[in-house]
A and B are shown apart, each in its own frame.
Chain A
Amino acid sequence: MLPSPAKKQSSPFDRRRRASKAVAYFGLKPPPYQLDALEPHMSKKTVELHWGGHHRGYLENLNKALAKDDVLYSYTMDELITVTYNRGNPLPVFNNAAQVWNHDFFWESMQPGGGGIPELGLLDQIEKDFGSFTNFREKFVEAALTSFGSGWVWLVLKREEKHLAIVKTSNAFTPLIWDDIPIINLDVWEHAYYLDYKNERAKYVNAFMDHLVSWNTAMGRLARAEAFVNLGEPNIPVA
């Protein structure tokens, strides 16, 4: 009997059953910058608590749930979210899985010295789908301010309709469940801004748009998305 290559089993019976099974858990990905790099628009205290407390909490709960449930093993994060969403009847572990994904995406959607205006293809696509960047920005901020309760605001590329759109989701929901491709997201749960801005969500959203959002990352994501969605459909003449 070969010993299991991964985690220590709790009893010899388990070891016999799972001898051939490799076990893996999800790890906590740190933001791609120092925790104080987003000051003064997002304080180090907020990032520490948001990443180290909330994000880490979701991850630990996710791993705890996975440890109990063989069926959910060996999925990638994206697959796990779709599977646990269970076609509209989410399993309890959906919240944790989706929130881990959402927060990973969020940290990467920001950068020190962010904000401003995107360039190249992303700007072209935004102007095509929203008229102008200013109009897009207005709509995005409005969506963030009219989001009731906890949730997220997304810029997504809609797969079927082949254009960009702004989407609001509540609690842990993510456009992945509709098979759309997210480009950036903004956390509007109160914990994301309360320490820095108290109840003034408008200030937080504007700080995000002016100083934090990483259009570089967004451009990369759109470029990758174009491998799946043909945005430049040529006019093929009907024979």
Chain B
Amino acid sequence: MALRSLFSRTSLAGLSAASRTSSCLDSKALGLAGLAQSRGLKTASLPDLPYDYGALEPAISGDIMQLHHKKHHQTYVTNYNKALEQLHEATLKGDVGTVVKLQSAIKFNGGGHVNHSIFWKNLAPVREGGGEPPHGSLGWAIDTHFGSVEALIQKMNAEGAALQGSGWVWLGLDKETKKLVVDTTANQDPLVTKGATLIPLLGIDVWEHAYYLQYKNVRPDYLKNIWKVMNWKYAGEIYQQECP
């Protein structure tokens, strides 16, 4: 269709490309990445999931995991690489207008890649420790700052449910003050946009694509259930790195 070929030439139209088969998309991504790498540009690539798509059932369905990883996250990666290529060219040419124009695409797609890469590590199947409450120093810190893990979960769920539109709810660590914080970001903004010293420990995707097929519009149910597959071990490791 003429419109489709037009979009494949414009800069921000990765979304129409996502409707083609995934094999076509992969080869396109590889081709683009290969070209970019030959110029010394380090492109992003879709990380593998450390578990099967169905491993987080029944908290998160296999359908959602597959779509979320293979389609949504892949689209962010593809579009980020495309935007990066264009940014590189525009920077070399000194085309300031284009450099500025590309910032929102880089922030959105790059942020999507960063956030989702953390998200996959934040989740774990039950048999690999998903849902097990935090031990050690992170557990202590949570009790000190929030009173209890349950209180923290309630707070994050409340903020996640109240978030209008699309975004993320985070448990973060302030590198400087060594304090734990709960915060939200809009769209695909990474946590660091809320504070340069903030490090994400846990993030929950509250975009509708993260839960709609299974929970429909009942976001609070999704938020309640996701804690059953939360990988506190990962959060604990990051915390201990920063607060030894």
Contacts and interface: CB of A to CB of B under 8 A. Distances in A.
A80 B222 CA distance: 32
B217 interface: yes
Interface stretch (B7-15, B113-121, B125-133, B236-244): B7-15
B104 interface: yes
Interface majority SS (helix, strand, loop, mixed), chain A: helix
Contacts of A95: 164
Interface string B8-29: 0010110110110000000000
Contact of A191 (B12, B188, B217): B217
Interface in A38-83: 49, 53-54, 57
Contact of A149 (B10, B18, B165): B165
Contacts, number: 76
A138 B3 contact: yes
Contact of A49 (B10, B188, B216): B216
Given A138-B3, A142-B7, A146-B12, A194 B188 contact: no
Contacts of A53: 216-217
Chain B's interface size range is: 20 to 34
A194 B19 contact: no
Given A54-B217, A146-B12, A148-B104, A200 B187 contact: no
B1 to A, nearest CB: 9
Nearest to A194: B212
Nearest to B74: A199
Interface residues of A, number: 29
B227 interface: no
Contacts of B13: 142, 145-146
B71 A170 contact: no
Contacts of A141: 3
Nearest to B14: A145
B15 A145 contact: yes
Nearest to A90: B164
A171 B13 CA distance: 21
Contacts of A195: 212-213
20 contacts: A53-B216, A142-B10, A145-B12, A145-B13, A145-B15, A146-B12, A148-B104, A148-B188, A149-B166, A149-B207, A150-B208, A170-B165, A171-B165, A189-B165, A191-B208, A198-B67, A199-B209, A200-B19, A202-B7, A202-B16
Given A95-B164, A149-B207, 10 more contacts: A149-B186, A149-B188, A171-B164, A171-B165, A172-B164, A191-B212, A195-B212, A199-B18, A202-B7, A203-B19
Interface of B: 3, 6-7, 10, 12-13, 15-16, 18-19, 67, 71-72, 75, 104, 108, 164-167, 186-188, 207-209, 212-213, 216-217
Interface of A: 49, 53-54, 57, 95, 138, 141-142, 145-146, 148-151, 170-172, 189-191, 194-195, 198-203, 206
